[in-house]
Amino acid sequence: MKQYKLVAGPTSTQILGKKADNNAAVANFQQIISSYAQQGWSYHSMEAISTEQEQGCLFNKHVVTMTFYMLIFVHEA
């Protein structure tokens, strides 16, 4: 039987900070995947999850879409 573990990936601000850096983003995800591999989990896939949140005051509300990444790992139980 397979077991799955879902792990929240870093947010875009955690990965990129104020300046876009593709190498930093790749290194961050690589570190997460390597860490779970050392614990016996195999990387399965990544899913993007979007949520919408209202921000602003009563007269100036707007909807902001936030995207989160979930890494999925698997191993045989």
Per-residue model confidence as pLDDT tens digits over 7-47: 988 766 555 555 666 777 788 889 999 999 999 999 999 99
The residue among 72 and 58 whose pLDDT is bigger is 72
pLDDT the model gives residue 14:
55
DSSP state of 40: T
pLDDT the model gives residue 28:
83
- The residues, ordered by sequence, that sit 6+ positions from 6 with a Cβ below 8 Å of its Cβ are 70, 71, 72, 73
